[in-house]
Amino acid sequence: MSPVVAAILAILFVAFGVLVSILLHEAGHFVFAKLFKVRVGQFMVGFGKTLWSRTIKGTEFGIKAIPLGGYISMAGMYPPTAPGRAADGAEAGSGYRLFQTLVQDARSASADTIEPGYEDAVFYKLPIWKRIIIMLGGPVVNFLIGIALFAIIITGLGAPALLATVASVPACVHPATSTSTVCDSSDAKSPAAKAGFKPGDKVLSVNGTSITSWAQLTSIIRTSIAKPLAVVVERSGREVTLHATPISNAEYVLDPAGNIKKNSAGDARVHDVGYLGIDATEYLKPLPASDIMPQVWSTTTSVGGVVINLPARLVGVWNAAFSTAPRDPNGPIGLIGVGRIAGQIGTDGSPFALQFEQLLAVLASLNIALFVFNLIPLPPLDGGHIIAALWEGLKRGAARIFHRSDPGPVDTAKIIPLTFAVVVVLVAMTVLLGYADIVKPITLQ
């Protein structure tokens, strides 16, 4: 398969996974809304122009042109103006009247969704706990998808591991600081190539020491600069003894997390280690189910850290996009960046099982990100509606405690201007991330 076709297939796989994740997110809202007898006028994936739709039992299901989210339209999202209250902003300045026009338009649009005979099948009349469950339905579905995908990855496919079996033998020696990918006449021939190592050789022992893992083998090689090694390998069902002497080669110094350490001047640290010139064979090793939730928790806290520090992270993205500053590989990424990563996975030359696992990991992480991001307590995100419901519960609870009259539903229409402001910020963030993903993309390490 050509690299271009492989990249396109990988991108389409992730794109389809994202579309399904959005659909199931909205289905989470929809199921609970119907369970609590709320009329749902629309169930849409995407925004903008409707590309396809069909009405089933009073609900229009459809797909729109811009696949950057989705929504369901529930009847009576906003309560009407309280009886006896004057029209908002009648004697205020033009700026205030503009905001109040937005509020009144939202109320009118909400009222238009209430059909005669269904005055009680509305969102704002539901008990607070039911409203919270409806709004949690979408993010929780994404969280469950993330758990399911990590379960498939960890217990079904397994984590990438290395066998003490030769996958490839580089023809020459390149230090870690080199960016060259081809050999020329000035490059030293690798000791493994000189000794006659071949792909598929299974290393059995080194100088009489039995080898049980790739880590054990590399540990011996790295500490054996200029020391002759007798390596016994299994090749085509028979044992072959090869003689090789590791040479000194520069390698980056890494911390426990695998990041390159730097010195006081900010330069990458390198050190000399023994080098033979053999690459390990990768395979997938299934892990116990007890490893699933730690991985889910690690991903959730990692995404949560990005969200909590999102303003600072976006400043970093801006600086990287419009200067020579580096892009933070652990920072926020847009859909274009996700697509590029998917394309890289599809063309990295790994076995299909490893590529499939990596693509599933991308989708698992995206679903965890959807779970965390949608719980941000700002409208129009699900967390904004949850906070509004909790605030209403707090007000009504306080009224009962102090024997006051029921204050009624919180007038959530009043935060429509804030909703518009958040939408503008989200659009700007999407544009910024898209531009940064093009001019300075995050790449796989």
User: pLDDT tens track of the chain, all 445 residues?
Assistant: 788 999 999 999 999 999 999 999 999 999 999 999 999 999 998 888 999 999 998 899 999 988 778 899 999 998 887 655 544 444 444 555 666 777 787 888 888 888 887 788 899 999 999 999 999 999 999 999 999 999 999 999 998 889 999 998 988 887 766 766 678 777 788 899 999 999 999 999 999 999 999 999 999 999 999 999 999 999 999 999 999 999 988 888 777 766 778 877 777 788 888 999 899 988 888 999 999 999 999 999 999 999 999 999 999 999 999 998 889 888 899 999 999 999 999 998 778 888 999 999 999 999 999 999 999 999 999 999 999 999 999 999 999 999 999 888 888 888 888 999 999 999 999 999 999 999 999 887 6
Using CA atoms of 405, 409, 410, 411 in order, give the dihedral in degrees to the nearest 10. Answer: -120
Residue pair 357/157 in contact by the 8 Å Cβ criterion? yes
Provide the pLDDT for residue 138: 96
**CA-CA distance, 10 to 262, in Å (whole number)?**
35
Give the per-residue pLDDT at 170: 87
Pairing mode, strands 229-235 and 238-244: antiparallel
- Distance, CA of 409 to CA of 80 (rounded, Å): 10
Q: What is the DSSP string of 233-289?
A: EEETTEEEEEEE--EEEEEE-B-TTSPBPB-TTSPBPEEEEEE---EEEEEEE---G
CA–CA separation, 105 and 111 (whole Å): 10
- CA 198, CA 193: separation in Å to the nearest integer? 8
pTM of the shown model: 0.81
Contact between 260 and 269 (Cβ < 8 Å) = yes
Q: How far apart are CA 243 and CA 194, in angstroms?
A: 9
Distance CA 42, CA 26 (A): 11
Output the pLDDT for position 348.
Answer: 84
Q: Output the pLDDT for position 96.
A: 58
Out of 26, 119, 239, 357, pick the active-site residue: 26
For 44-102, how does the pLDDT look when each residue is reduced to its tens digit (9 = 90+)? 988 889 999 999 988 999 999 887 788 999 999 988 876 555 444 444 445 556 667 77
Tokens for 319?
Answer: 């600086």
Cα distances (Å, whole numbers) of residue 395 to 100, 255, 407, 409: 23, 51, 7, 9
DSSP class per residue in 118-148: -TTS-STTS-HHHHHHHHHHHHHHHHHHHHH
Is 239 one of the catalytic residues? no
